[in-house]
Amino acid sequence: MKFFVDTAEVSEIRTLAEAGLVDGVTTNPSLIAKSGRKMAEVIAEICAITPGPVSAEVTATDFETMLAEGRYLRGIAGNVAVKVPLTEAGLRTCRALANEGTPVNVTLCFSAAQALLAAKAGAAFISPFVGRLDDISTDGMGLIADIVQIYRNYPHLKTEVLVASVRHPMHLVQAAKLGAHVATLPPAVIRQLLKHPLTDSGLSAFLADWKKTGQSIL
Ligand code: E4P
């Protein structure tokens, strides 16, 4: 399973990439706004850190402007994946960019029917938002199960399921058990994945015993 990092904070991405935990990055207009930086600069810096796909989202809502924005974003670096919303204009843009060889991440997916449409439009990735579905008392992970099953039924569909709006470690574990291709994780969730009380207590005991020996390795 590939791990993408869901942030526009360059220092976070750099640190996680040093540990080999970054296969790609996703951003969205809210994350760019949170960074307080110019979008093109941030995307260029992130693309230099990771060779994996870096999703940069269009902000227009009409086809012509979306397509122009998508081409501009793709021009920033060869590893940009253009992110478009799951609207009719978004799917037209997806097909046009895919025909030009640009990978497209179709975002704001909340149903299996939408995911099927995105695959037909040539999306490289579909981003179902599990956390936002859970927030409205709907089973986000059930949607992942449905999309994985539907895509498996039609092997000619090459769209990868990119689990988005991940809020906690169990979202990741469940998505991996279902066979989703990718999960995009906020840095805080990646750090939560690391934690186990037995790791902490085991390390404390090892260090206490080591101290008693009076030795040092270096
Ligand atoms: C990623 O592509 C999405 O934009 C992101 O995961 C949304 O997460 P949120 O629902 O926590 O904002």
Q: What is the pLDDT of residues 92-121, one digit of tens each?
A: 999 999 999 999 999 999 999 999 999 999
What's the predicted TM-score (pTM) here? Answer: 0.96
Q: How far is the CA of 4 from the centre of ligand 1 (A)?
A: 12
26 C-beta closer than 6 A to ligand 1: yes
Query: What are the tens digits of pLDDT across the range 30-61?
Result: 999 999 999 999 999 999 999 999 999 999 99
Q: Give the domain CATH number at 158.
A: 3.20.20.70
Annotation marks residue 195 as catalytic: no
Name the residue with tokens 């994945």. 193
Ligand 1: atom nearest CA of 127 is 2
Which phi and psi angles does 89 have, rounded to 5°?
A: -65, -35
Query: What are the tens digits of pLDDT across the range 145-168?
Result: 999 999 999 999 999 999 999 999
Give nearest CA residue, ligand 1 atom 4: 28
User: Is 218 within a domain?
Assistant: no
Task: Output b/e per residue, 74-112; b: 16+ Cβ within 10 A.
Answer: bebbebbbbbbbbbebbbbbbebbbeeebbbbbbbbbeb
Count of the separate structural domains present in the chain: 1
pLDDT at 30: 98
Q: Determine the structural domain holding residue 56 and report its residue range.
A: 2-213
pLDDT at 4: 98
| DSSP three-state, residue 143 | helix
